Structure 1
Amino acid sequence: MLEIAIIVTIAFLLDMLLGEPKKFHPLVGFGWIASRVEKILFRGEERSTRVCGVVGWIAMVMPVMFLALLSQYLDGYWSMAIQVAGLYLVMGGRSLVSHAMLVGNALDNQNLPVAQERVGWIVSRDTDQLDESGVVAATVESVLENGNDAIFGAIFWFVVAGLPGALLFRAVNTLDAMWGYKSERFLGFGWFSARVDDLMNWIPSRLTAVSYALLGDRSTALSSWKEQAALCKSPNAGAVMSSGAGALKLQLGGKSSYHGKIEEKPMLGAGRVAEREDICRTLSLVNRSVILWIAVLWTIATFTEIFRLYG
C-alpha cells in the first residue's frame, strides 16, 4: 500500500506540474486509431452494428491490456517508474484546469465568442448560442463530471488493479466518449462501450460524489444527490453532478442544444445560477477531492506499515 500511495502522489504531482505531453500523447493516438476502427467496422443494421461495436471494443482494449500486463513482470525501480509514467499519462487533471481557465479568462476579458468556442472543446452540446451564464454552467458541469472521469476514476482503478486497471479504465472511458453518444450512428455501435463505462464508473463516481459532499455544502449535496441523480440519463454522471452542484450551492441543468436538437436536462443542485468565479470554485472542489483521497491512501499506508512492523 505504501508503494501505491507513493506512485499515486508522484503521478498526480507530475500531472499538475507538467500537464499532458504536447506531442505523441498515447490517448491521442488511441483516439485516432479508434476513429479508424469505427469507420472500418460500422454497419447500418442495428443488430450487426452492435456486434461490430463489441468487436471494435475488443480490438482496441486487448492490445492495451497486453502491454499493461507485460509491465507487471518488471521488478524494482523500473516497475515503479513505468507505473508512475502510465498513471501520469492517463490522468487529465492539469488539462481539465487549463481548458476551464481558458473559458474563464475569455469571460474575464468579456469575449463571449471566444468563451463559447473554448467551452465547446470540453462539452458535446452546441455552444455558439450560449450566453455567459450558459457558458459558465456548461464549464462547471464538465469540470464536475471530469473530476471523476479524468482523475479520480483512474486513481481508483490503479489502487484496485494496478496499472492494468488504470489503463483499462481510461481506454473504456475514451471509447465511451467517442462511441457512446446516443446519436443515430452510435446508438448501436457504441452501446457496449457505454455499458462497460457505466459499470467501471459506478463505484468511482459515487466516491467522487461523496468527496464533493464532504468538502462542500454537505446537506445540500446529499439531498440533491438523493433526489436528482436518478433523473439523469447517465447513472454515474447524475450522482457526480447533482452532488457537486449541491456542494457548490449552484443550480445547473435546464435546456441544452445537442446537434441542433433542444434537450431538457433535469435541474441539478440548489441555489443561485453559476457565475464566472464559480469556475475556479469548481476546480478547487475537484482538486481538494483528489487530495482528500490521496491523504486517505497515505493514512491507510501508514497504519499498514505500522501494523507490519509492530503488529
Structure 2
Amino acid sequence: MITCLAALLIDTLIGDPCTRLHPVALIGRLIGFLDRLFYTSRTRPIRQMMAGLVVVLLVLLVVFNVLYLLYWGLDALGNPYVTTGAEALLLSFTICPRSLASAAEEIYTFLIHHHLGAAREKVGWIVGRDTDQLDEGEIVRATVETVAENTTDGIISPLFFYAIGGLPLAVLYRAVNTMDSMLGYKNEKYLYFGRPAARLDDICNFIPARITGLLFVTAAFFLRLDYGNAWRMMRRDAAKHPSPNGGYAEASVAGALDIRLGGYNSYFGKMTFRAYMGDARQALRARHIRGAVRLMYAVTLMGTALTVLCWAGRSLW
C-alpha cells in the first residue's frame, strides 16, 4: 500500500530519469539484442513467429530472474525500509504520468505560441505517424490520442498487475509492453516476428483497458466534463479501433471532451485510416490537450486509490 503511494510520489516529484540505466531502457536493449540475434527474413512466417515467441520467453525469463536476484539481495539485507524504498522506486519506473503530461504540455505551449514546426517535431517523438505536414488540429488529435492510450499502457495496466501480483508482475507487464512497442509493428519485418509480442500485449491489456475507459467516464463526471457522452462514445466506438483495447480510452476521452479522434494517418509516407472515435462537436484546439492531461491525472489518482484499496483488502483478509 505504502509502496504504491510512494511510487506515485516519486514519479510526480522526479519523473523518469533519462539514463541508459533506466530499467525500461535496459529491457529495451535486451529486446534489441535478441531481435538482431533471432530475426531472419529468409524463413517462413511460422518460423518467424516461433522465433518471435522465443524472444518473448527469453525476455520474460531474464527479467524474472533479475527480479528474483533483487529480492534475494533485499531479503539478505533484512531492512523493510530499504525493501519498500526499492520497490517504490522500481514501481515508479513502470508508470509514466509525469513524462506523459510533460510531453503533452510542451506541445500545448508550442501551439499556443504558434510554433507549429516545433510542435510537429515534438509530437513526432511520442507518435509513430508522419508529423511533418500536420496542422494544429491534427497535432492536437495525435497528442490527445497518445495521452489517452498511454493512460492504459503506462499507468493503469502496471497498477492493475501490481494490485494482483505485486512488483514482479508489474515489471513483467512493462517488459511485455516494451516488446510490443519495439516489435509489434504490422510492417514487412515484424508482421510475423513481432506477432507473439503484440498478441501477448493485447491479452495483458484486455481488462486494464476496459477499466481505464470506465475510469475516464468517472473522471469526466468529477471534472464536470461530458461524462454522459464519454459513456455513450465508449459503448458506441470502442470496438471500432484496430486494437482490441485502444478504443476504450480514446473513445471515452473523445466523448468527455466533445471532440472526434481517429481519421487519416500517414506512416512512412503511406496513408491509412483509423475509425473515428466520438463526434466532432468541437473543433480540435490546443486546450483539448490540457483537458486530456487533466483526465489522465484524475484517472491516475483513481487507479492508485483502487490499487491501495486492493492491497488494504488483501491485508485485512
TM-score (norm 2): 0.90
Matched with 2:118 is 114
In the TM superposition, 1:61-140 aligns within 5 A as 61-73=60-72, 74=75, 76-140=80-144
Q: Distance in 2 between matches of 1:63 and 1:179?
A: 18
Contact 2:161/2:173 (<8 A) preserved:
yes
Q: CA deviation at 1:69?
A: 3.3
SS of the residue aligned with 1:264?
strand
Matched with 1:13 is 9
**Which letter maps to 1:69?**
Y
Q: CA deviation at 1:100?
A: 1.1
Contact 1:71/1:82 (<8 A) preserved:
no
Contact 2:97/2:300 (<8 A) preserved:
no
1:227 paired residue among 236, 250, 272: 236
Q: Distance in 2 between matches of 1:301 and 1:33?
A: 32
Contact 1:50/1:190 (<8 A) preserved:
yes
Q: Which moved more, 1:64-73 or 1:7-16?
A: 64-73
SS of the residue aligned with 2:275?
strand
Q: Deviations for 1:121-155, whole angstroms, at most 9, x for unmatched residues?
A: 11011111110110010000000001111111111
Report the CA distance shift for 1:89/1:299 in structure 2 as closer, same or farther (over 3 A): closer
In the TM superposition, 1:49-68 aligns within 5 A as 49-68=48-67
**Which letter maps to 2:253?**
G
Unaligned runs of 5+ in 2: 221-225
2:40 paired residue among 36, 39, 43: 43
Q: Distance in 2 between matches of 1:303 and 1:180?
A: 36
Q: Distance in 1 between matches of 2:140 and 2:28?
A: 27
Q: Distance in 2 between matches of 1:72 and 1:29?
A: 18
1:273 paired residue among 270, 283, 290: 283
**Which letter maps to 2:258?**
K
Report the CA distance shift for 1:57/1:298 in structure 2 as closer, same or farther (over 3 A): closer
In the TM superposition, 1:178-189 aligns within 5 A as 178-189=182-193
Q: CA deviation at 1:299?
A: 4.9
Q: CA deviation at 1:109?
A: 2.0
TM-score (norm 1): 0.92
Q: Distance in 2 between matches of 1:114 and 1:41?
A: 38
How many pairs does the alignment contain? 303
Report the CA distance shift for 1:84/1:266 in structure 2 as closer, same or farther (over 3 A): same
Q: Which moved more, 1:67-76 or 1:204-213?
A: 67-76
Q: CA deviation at 1:59?
A: 1.7
Matched with 1:207 is 211
Q: Distance in 2 between matches of 1:303 and 1:51?
A: 41
Report the CA distance shift for 1:218/1:62 in structure 2 as closer, same or farther (over 3 A): same
In the TM superposition, 1:289-304 aligns within 5 A as 289-299=299-309
**Which letter maps to 1:52?**
A
Q: Say whether 1:22 aligns with 2:18.
A: yes
Report the CA distance shift for 1:60/1:83 in structure 2 as closer, same or farther (over 3 A): same
Report the CA distance shift for 1:103/1:82 in structure 2 as closer, same or farther (over 3 A): same
SS of the residue aligned with 2:209?
helix
Matched with 2:258 is 249
Q: CA deviation at 1:303?
A: 6.9
Contact 2:140/2:285 (<8 A) preserved:
yes
Q: Considering only aligned residues, what root-mean-square deviation do their CA atoms show, in Å? A: 1.7
Q: Distance in 2 between matches of 1:47 and 1:299?
A: 44
Unaligned runs of 5+ in 1: none
**Which letter maps to 1:183?**
N
Report the CA distance shift for 1:261/1:303 in structure 2 as closer, same or farther (over 3 A): closer
Q: Distance in 2 between matches of 1:29 and 1:139?
A: 27
Q: Distance in 1 between matches of 2:47 and 2:69?
A: 33
SS of the residue aligned with 1:121?
helix
Q: Which moved more, 1:239-248 or 1:180-189?
A: 239-248
Report the CA distance shift for 1:275/1:85 in structure 2 as closer, same or farther (over 3 A): same
Contact 1:215/1:247 (<8 A) preserved:
no
Matched with 2:29 is 32
1:287 paired residue among 297, 300, 305: 297
Contact 2:254/2:277 (<8 A) preserved:
yes
Matched with 2:223 is none
Q: CA deviation at 1:157?
A: 0.6
Matched with 1:151 is 155
